[in-house]
Structure 1
């Protein structure tokens, strides 16, 4: 059973913050994160992600709006609880461990009101949780970057916070370490039942790690959904283009039709509109297939670039009549080169945005 009360949901309503009359950052932002869930905040630089995190942590005052955790108001009209009274753990970039304290003393730093035996037990429990049991006597400089991030998480979780804030905690790690540390962090958060909010610039990190992904655009939430729904059913073309690669095509739907006519052929729609409609059809690169250019219903194009990633490859194809080339995801080995002609066919369903 989770250590925390199940009512540790995060609710942010109509949150506003500006750094002057000409610099609005948050503009009536609303966000709800269920108790025990890990939500990722994703968005371009300057959209308000870090400002939101700092207001929730108590480091900044909001101009308007409310923040509540587990029904307890932290920010509101006339209310601004200081950071130390919010029951919020913070994992900053690069860990930020105290260099003069041992690993055990770093983890135990926020454990107030406990006797020595209880502090030691809780510290050992947290080190075991993050897979670093027996490391208590070491100093931070004796740890790798991934180990330091695990210790920073253990320190944040030790006081049993209702909410954990993670501010791009994997940025300083090399790609070989990131996936493993992310998995360990997610497992530790789930084991304690803490609600968590992760700020990241990495779309793949958000989609692969979080239970919910909230895309921030100009100080508001453009869409908050599960990773699969966000990717498969983006709220608008901007979200589609920001979260992963997207092929955006002009499309037309006849009255009562369930398909759209595009420059890549006829495409099935997830939610056909009522009546005749025109708009932007959103396809993902993995929905496109390279076929023989003489295949019936295939659209001809010319390969302009091939990027091989090992597990798959991205093939860029210029199609007559399309302003921008399209990207096609191909599994395994690639047997086509730039300059060659190919055919493209579409599989699966697309979304239409009038």
Structure 2
């Protein structure tokens, strides 16, 4: 399998301007990994080094055991067997769809090029579009053609550089699903660079959160969301409620302003810390419910499929957010009870 292994990768753009600071990342063969992080964390620099467009200062990059970057090794981009899907498709405007897809199919006879092109167009759901020009396609269709062009030469690795940014939200989810299906059909290892948390969690097999030039945590989407390594990661990959907590009950629970909270992992000798839970783990309840704390609603944000209700409670400097599905039972200024469900994580 074409595992991607990146070890101790560093890159600076001048004295005092480090971008990558010993980054390590492993992507299993055939998996789609999302590299997620804020602007300036090094995501695009990482992608350009793997593609061969930028030279690393130190470190190694291998795909399927083949060294692309390392001491004394710097393979040119055309020898790396890496496909790239850039932002906004970047199709050649003067070439037809079929000629765009076939662009990288060098060394094949005409019949084989045509067969491979038709195979790729069918894979991305655009069979019969070969004679069209790029300007005749929608944004989502252009992105699928860009993927077909990247997959046509059978690359060992596919790099996707925030490819859905230019699409509206209604179209983005459908194109994302089509791209994921096509990647799985070919078995290609892929890396998706994005700053969109929802995109990373819903699309990838593993998610690597990059912070200040290093991978702060790499895990499956479920584990990353449920067991974040620290409060910053918890807040970056989704909405989080941070509570001061004191460990009790032999380390099984933490006492918080919202009452006792079950811990998902042993506290490791820690007696106090920050308890992280998700807004959907909180429930509104009657004020006289036994396991609920009393609070006052300060704000309600309605999103259609659900709403976020902010509740001020004693012991908290800021209101806590409660995600509520269905009809809103309460409004600003009203009193309510809040109780906690599920498990939480404790951090220093």
Determine if the TM-score, normalized by the shorter chain, exceeds 0.5.
Answer: yes
Moved more, 303-312 or 260-269: 303-312
Change (3 A) 1:148 1:73: same
Change (3 A) 1:255 1:315: closer
**Residues 263-318 of structure 1, C-alpha deviation per residue, up to 9 Å, x if partnerless?**
11000011122556111111001100001112123111111221122221111112
Pairing 1:176–2:170 present = yes
TM-score, normalization: structure 1? 0.97
Q: Which residue of structure 2 lines up, in the alignment, with residue 115 of structure 1?
A: 109
- Total equivalences in the alignment: 348
Q: Which residue of structure 2 lines up, in the alignment, with residue 264 of structure 1?
A: 258
Change (3 A) 1:294 1:130: same
Q: Which residue of structure 2 lines up, in the alignment, with residue 279 of structure 1?
A: 273
TM-score, normalization: structure 2? 0.98
* Aligned-residue offset at 1:12: 0.1
* Aligned-residue offset at 1:254: 2.7
Q: Which residue of structure 2 lines up, in the alignment, with residue 243 of structure 1?
A: 237
**Residues 124-143 of structure 1, C-alpha deviation per residue, up to 9 Å, x if partnerless?**
00000000000000000000
Residue pair 1:312, 1:330 contacting (<8 A) in 2 also: yes
Structure 1: unaligned runs, 5 residues or longer: 1-6
Q: Within 1, Cα distance between the matches of 2:150 and 2:125? A: 15
Q: Within 1, Cα distance between the matches of 2:144 and 2:268? A: 51
Q: Within 1, Cα distance between the matches of 2:187 and 2:17? A: 37
Q: Within 2, Cα distance between the matches of 1:117 and 1:276? A: 67
Q: Which residue of structure 1 lines up, in the alignment, with residue 329 of structure 2?
A: 335
Pairing 1:56–2:50 present = yes
Q: Which residue of structure 2 lines up, in the alignment, with residue 232 of structure 1?
A: 226
Pairing 1:80–2:74 present = yes
Q: Which residue of structure 1 lines up, in the alignment, with residue 341 of structure 2?
A: 347
Pairing 1:201–2:195 present = yes
Change (3 A) 1:275 1:216: closer
For the residue of structure 2 that corresponds to 1:190, the secondary structure is: helix
Q: Which residue of structure 1 lines up, in the alignment, with residue 122 of structure 2?
A: 128
Residue pair 1:25, 1:219 contacting (<8 A) in 2 also: yes
For the residue of structure 2 that corresponds to 1:108, the secondary structure is: helix
Task: Give the alignment's Cα RMSD to 1 decimal.
Answer: 1.0
**Residues 142-188 of structure 1, C-alpha deviation per residue, up to 9 Å, x if partnerless?**
00000000000000000000000000000000011000000000000
* Aligned-residue offset at 1:321: 2.0
For the residue of structure 1 that corresponds to 2:78, the secondary structure is: helix
Residue pair 1:256, 1:275 contacting (<8 A) in 2 also: no
Q: Which residue of structure 2 lines up, in the alignment, with residue 95 of structure 1?
A: 89
Q: Within 2, Cα distance between the matches of 1:117 and 1:131? A: 21
Residue pair 1:256, 1:276 contacting (<8 A) in 2 also: no
* Aligned-residue offset at 1:335: 2.2
Change (3 A) 1:274 1:150: closer
Q: Within 2, Cα distance between the matches of 1:51 and 1:159? A: 24
